[in-house]
Structure 1
Amino acid sequence: MDKTEQIYVKDGDTATGIVFDAPPTSMWRRLLQKIELKSEVENGRRSNPDLDPVPPEGRHWHARHYALFWISDNVSVSGFRTASSIMDVGLSWRMSLLCVALANLLAGIIITLNGIVGADYHIPFSIQSRASYGYYLSYLMILMRCIVGIFWYGIQTYTGAECVQSMLYAIWPSFRNVPNTLPQSANINTQLMTSYVLYFLTILPFHYVGIHKVKWLFMVKTVATFIVGFGLMGWMINTVGVSNSSLFSQGNTVHGSRFRWVFMNSFYSNLGGFTTLMVNAPDYSRYAHRRRSTYTTLFAVPFTATLVTFMGVVVASGSKVMYGEILWDPLQVVDKWTSKGGRAAAFFCALSFYFSQLGLNIAANSLASANDMNAIWPKYINLRRGQFIAAFLGAWALTPWNIMTSAPAFLNFMSGYSIWLGPLCGVLVADYFIVHRQKYDVNELYKFGGIYNYRWGFNWRAFAAFTIAWVPLLPGFIPTVSSGITASSGLTHLYDVGFFYGFGSSILSYSVICYFFPAKETYVETAVYPDDITKGRDIEDISSEEVYSDKIQTE
């Protein structure tokens, strides 16, 4: 008995179309996708299969997968280094841990909140943003997020190259003696450039594999790096203990009002690294089996960030006793082993950190940038092509070795970009939960002239709220990237609490503006979800151009 699949492909806004009775094979589905996409473009709908809502068969991310995803994002080389910058400005290790824990707790809450729209409608951030900003204004927000992702891809690639370099030191000790053939002006030596090329070549194949197929990578990364983290910490405690450590005996070196503002600035800096993930949370939550599958983010983000930060403090503290210098970078610690007979352990540790950087770069940077480029040029770019473009631009066009070695002001700029991404995310959250009360028409989000086009594709309410949220922070931000400019203490302190102001004021101002000047054409009485198209509704009930696929199993 053969099973067939009856599929109705609607022709634009009319009730006519073609009915296919065909085996439900991937060949037929690909053929129908081409027919559907051609019809959609002709009727004012720019999309492709990667940009469309994730179909039911693609929603197989469960709670454990999201836990592993976010754990793997925190368990990294940069996670070990987190406490270094906080303790350098005068906080004790206890206050550093508290700062990290609170920042990541807030980050986990916001990531979960903004990710709900992805879990409900199975759409990426680039499509979600149209509901609040309008069809064309959303492109500016998407481009802003895309550029940030590409820059950070290059910076994380540089860290990944350091992992490969440590692996080469372990398996080939004489690699340390490889002569440098590059000029000093290159800001990178031959050893690190060789490692950089190897890292880049080995990470490329992972961009070809879809995000829904690399769940195993996050599991391997999480398990391996946790083993290494606990191993490093246990080895250091067993070797030197913690009682004689200067870091653990160090208290706060700032007090009074100065202490409060230093704490808030450190809090803000830790949140800054998460604003990109807050904005594009739907890019990952769209694969959720159900909404509550994403809730593990609330616990995974703060718990693992605090734990890894503590590991970093212990290892750095022990390195002071053992080597006479504080080594916040775990790779520098394992590099010490290669000259003392610990080459196998050094290689395994460096390999685990390599996987750490690989997963982090895919999750936080290449995939997010690919989703953004996919929305801007859906006819030419899909997720795979977008990831390759982001990889080559970030890793080579931006020359991150120059950024890391000779442009500290630019790194301050990259850490302060949350003055824009925080307000951007605030508008998204306010629009979904307060203004539209979680009721979108998913079909209209994909239409040029749909209800979310607003006036000329520009929602002035969102733009006004976005502007109100970031402009007051600019005077406090500029001195961080230009040493020749100073700001008043009041503006500096406002920047120190910039995320709270930017995110909070955008939510408040957008909600108030929409209350007094509502865009009534965008409000729907009943939410329209992707699955509503496939639940046997009559053709006459479908009001926008869409593909109607009613799967009927017959014998």
Structure 2
Amino acid sequence: MGSTSLLHRLVKRIETKEYRTAGSEERHQWLDNNDLRPVPYADRTFGWKSYFWFWLSANATPASFYGVSAALTAGLSVWEALACQLGGQIMIAVVFVFNGRAGAVYHIPYPTIVRASFGIWGSYWPIVNRVVMTLVWTGVNAVQGGECAYVLLHSIFPSIARIPDVFPSGASALNSGGMIGFFVFWVLTTSLLHIKIPSLRPYMYTKLIIFFICSICLLGWALAEAGGIGPVARQGSTIHGSTKSWTVARYVFIYCANGATYATNAADFLRYAKKPKDAFWPQLIGYPLSTFVVGIIGNLIVSSSTITFGELIWNPINFMDALLQRHYNSATRAGIFFLSLGFLYASVISSIFENFIPAGNDLAALWPRFITVRRGFYIASLISYAMCPWYILGSASSFVSWLSSYQIFLSSITGVMLCHYFVVSRGYFKVSDLFIPSHDSLYYYSRGWNYRAYIAYVVGIAPNFYGFLGVFGVSITLPATRMYYFAYPMGLALSFGTYWALNKLHPPVCSKMGEHFHEVQAEADSTIIGSEPEVIDINLRADKGMMESSEKDASLV
């Protein structure tokens, strides 16, 4: 009895506040917590300027410096590779703004929105897809941030570079000194996760200023060492004819697919918009333009390495460490210290926005009774350490290819979501029904699962799965390889078309196909209830007093 009572008290202690304060008749609503509801009025603070600067700041990270390196190694020139990146990211920005429209209008996150198309229970698989990708990227980006921390420590303590390496050769992306840097980065990032997301805007703007100051300083230093922009920036393409045409096509869509994770959970970012129009042009222009600008600076920096060191160093952080090892004097150490400190700060803030925010939203959706977005942040932080990402990067030769190939699963999810919002529901969501696990909900379908969405999901994946196997060394034909270049748009189109056809043949209760496009933002607003003591009002009985209470009391995290 004693142990049972202790366990019961422990369970009660870790339940979210919404569940604890709900009445017994309402506790079946474990699909709900504050983080899955519409954003309170007070937190809808992002205007068009905020979003534009947000993307410029989000891409102001060392990881964006060498985004076109793969296209360069394939034989394209620097400027051709940058053009491929810009073209691909314009494409994914279009998908991003349209798939995030529901978030901008109804102010709800991706895990809640996906219930409308896949069903109340069927939404779990798309959420798991995003959770896996987010957690893996959280660990990978922590390794990259750890490199910045290592260079900073190396500028202070020369002995860190002489620590005996305990890892087997080639098994880890980090040596023993790099592991110290990883731990420093991990602690810094985790210590900032308690800050509310809207309150992070000052950090975002500060990071933008610091990053570009450091980038321009490093660029000037690199050009001074090399005496010019370097041969890589001036050299032309080494491939021609049809080979070059197929290479361009391949990398345009690779850079498109690299933003697939953003496009899938676009609502997690756009739900904070003051008005829906604030979430359109800033993303469409700001996202691809910001990556392009950072990419130009990064490639000019690393192109000088062939003159300075006689070899090409594609990672500017490794380039800084090479400068430090070449001239380990007080002037160099001071310069590298401040540069690496600025880049470390940029990496920390970027990791929070690009990794922890999606991870927190997705994990909160998996078990709302016990997990809030804030708790999801800390769970993601622990998993990112526990998965030992330095081994993943060091030992899995196909790791990067696998990550980009995961596009075939995300494209099918996005295609279904786009079709449902714009064609099937015609812009209308009954937000309260997204939290009802019963036949009373428009989105319960068949026992909480929408078979139409899952058929469309499989159809979108099927033609690309053969090419996906080729990533792992399975021998496939040249036509199949080339067809796989177009995996993302193909999966998007096939899942969209299949979902449309199935809804046309067998319309669900929530279908409004053939009606006028009609978004009802008041539906989202009337669903926000004060965080204490009420829970979400399933019958939309919210009155003005309740909504005022929500605006005053409800918080995001």
Normalising by structure 1, we get a TM-score of 0.87
Amino-acid identity (%): 27
Q: Is the 8 A contact 1:534 1:549 kept in 2?
A: no
- Tell me how far apart the structure 1 counterparts of residues 519 and 263 of structure 2 sit (CA, whole Å): 27
Aligned to 1:372: 362
Q: Aligned partners of 1:336, 1:526: CA distance in 2, in Å?
A: 56
Which residue, out of 375, 398, 402, partners 1:409?
Answer: 398
Structure 1 residue 549 displacement after superposition:
4.3
Question: Which has the larger displacement, 255-264 or 42-51?
Answer: 42-51
Deviations 1:187-212 (A, max 9, x none): 34321111111111111122222222
**Which of 298, 321, 325 lines up with 1:335 in the alignment?**
321
Query: Superposed, which structure 2 residues align to 1:211-250 within 5 Å?
Result: 211-242=197-228, 245-250=230-235
Query: Is the Cα–Cα contact under 8 Å of residues 46 and 274 in structure 2 kept in the other structure?
Result: yes
- Whole-Å Cα distance in 2 between the matches of residues 514 and 102 of structure 1? 33
Specify which of 390, 405, 409 is matched with residue 420 of structure 1. Answer: 409
Task: Answer yes or no: is 1:359 the counterpart of 2:359.
Answer: no
Give 5+ residue unaligned stretches, structure 2. 1-15, 530-535, 549-557
Are 1:60 and 2:45 counterparts? yes
In the alignment, which of 37, 45, 56 is matched to residue 71 of structure 1? Answer: 56
SS in 2 for 1:529: helix
State the Cα distance separating 1:174 from its structure 2 match: 3.0
Deviation at 1:551, TM superposition (A): 2.5
**Counterpart in the other structure of 2:447:** 456
Equivalence map 1:471-486=2 (5 Å) = 471-481=462-472, 483=473, 485-486=474-475
Measured against aligned partners, the alpha-carbon deviations of 1:487-528 in whole angstroms (never above 9, x if no partner) come to 112211111111111112222222233223221344498735
Q: Output one character per residue of 1:131-180: Cα deviation in whole Å (capped at 9) or x when no partner.
A: 11111111000011101110111111111110100110112233222333
Q: Is the 8 A contact 2:146 2:185 kept in 1?
A: yes
CA contact (8 A) 1:452 1:522 kept: no
- Give the whole-Å Cα distance in 2 for the aligned partners of 1:378 and 1:533: 17
CA distance in 2, matches of 1:136, 1:236: 54
Q: Within 1, Cα distance between the matches of 2:410 and 2:490?
A: 12
Match status 1:194 vs 2:184: no
Q: 1:43 to 1:223 in 2, by over 3 A?
A: same
Match for residue 389 of structure 1 among 361, 379, 386: 379
* Distance apart, 1:40 and its partner CA: 7.2
Structure 2 residue aligned with 1:204, among 178, 190, 199? Answer: 190
| SS across alignment from 1:548 | coil
In structure 2, do the counterparts of structure 1 residues 85 and 175 end up closer, same or farther at CA, with 3 Å as the change threshold? same
CA distance change for structure 1 residues 87 and 327 in 2, over 3 Å: closer, same or farther? same
Tell me whether 1:290 sits opposite 2:272 in the alignment. no
**Counterpart contact for 1:43–1:545, Cα < 8 Å:** no
Whole-angstrom distance in 2 between the partners of 1:332 and 1:41: 55
Q: Classify 1:400/1:229 alpha carbon distance in 2 versus 1 (closer, same or farther; 3 Å).
A: same
**Structure 1 partner of 2:525:** 531
Q: Name the SS for the 1:136 alignment partner.
A: coil
Report how far residue 363 of structure 1 moved. Answer: 1.8
Question: For residues 178 and 459 of structure 1, do their structure 2 counterparts lie closer, same or farther at Cα, with a shift above 3 Å needed?
Answer: same
* 1:2-17 correspondence runs (5 A): none
TM superposition shift of 1:129 = 0.2
Could you tell me which of 110, 121, 134 is aligned with 2:106? 121
Letter in 2 for 1:462: A
List per-residue Cα deviations over 1:422-473 (Å, max 9, x = no partner): 1111211121112211111111111112111111111122112111111110
Structure 2: distance between partners of 1:465 and 1:64: 37
1:469 aligns with 2:460: yes
Contact preservation (8 Å) 1:534, 1:551: no
Unaligned runs of 5+ in 1: 1-30, 536-541
Partner of 1:502, secondary structure, is: helix
Q: Distance in 2 between matches of 1:199 and 1:543?
A: 42
1:315 aligns with 2:309: no
Contact 1:533 1:549 in 2 (8 A): no
Task: State how far apart, in whole Å, the 2-side matches of 1:32 and 1:248 are.
Answer: 56
Aligned in 2, Cα 1:71/1:534: closer, same or farther, shift over 3 Å? closer
Cα offset, 1:186, TM superposition: 6.3
Q: Match of 2:475, as an amino acid?
A: T
Alignment equivalent of 1:156, drawn from 135, 141, 146: 141
Residue in structure 2 matching 1:545, options 526, 539, 551: 539
Task: Report if aligned partners of 2:426, 2:519 keep a CA contact under 8 Å in 1.
Answer: no
- 1:378 aligned counterpart, secondary structure: coil
* Residue pair 1:279, 1:424 contacting (<8 A) in 2 also: yes
> Do 1:48 and 1:379's aligned partners in 2 also have CA atoms closer than 8 Å?
yes
Q: Quick one: which of 484, 498, 503 aligns to 1:509?
A: 498
Instruction: Give the whole-Å Cα distance in 2 for the aligned partners of 1:526 and 1:214.
Output: 30
Cα distance in 2, alignment partners of residues 534 and 404 from structure 1: 43
Take 1:86 and 1:350, find their aligned partners in 2: how far apart are those partners? Answer: 27
Paired letter, 1:404: L
Whole-angstrom CA distance in 1 between matches of 2:384 and 2:435: 29
Among 337, 353, 357, which residue is 1:347 paired with?
A: 337
2:370 is paired with a residue whose SS is coil
Deviations 1:190-239 (A, max 9, x none): 21111111111111122222222211221122211112222222333455
User: Matched residues in 1 for 2:278 and 2:519: separation?
Assistant: 24
Deviation at 1:242, TM superposition (A): 4.1
Deviations 1:242-301 (A, max 9, x none): 46x321332222222221221122122222321111111111211111112223111111
- Letter of the 2:303 partner, please give it: S
> 1:40–1:546: 8 Å Cα contact kept in structure 2?
no
Deviation at 1:97, TM superposition (A): 1.1
8 Å contact 1:123–1:282 — kept in the other structure? yes
Shift of 1:44: 4.2
- Measure the CA separation in 2 of the matches of 1:308 and 1:82: 9
Of 257, 263, 277, the match for 2:262 = 277
| Residue 138 of structure 2 corresponds to residue 147 of structure 1 | no
1:222/1:547 CA distance change after superposition, 3 Å: farther
Residues 353/526 of structure 1: CA separation in 2 closer, same or farther (3 Å cut): closer
Q: Following the alignment from structure 2 to structure 1, what is the Cα–Cα distance between the partners of residues 92 and 170?
A: 39
AA aligned to 1:264 is A
Equivalent AA in structure 2 for residue 401 of structure 1: W
CA contact 2:105–2:519 (8 Å) conserved in 1: no
- Residue 111 of structure 1 aligns with which residue? 96
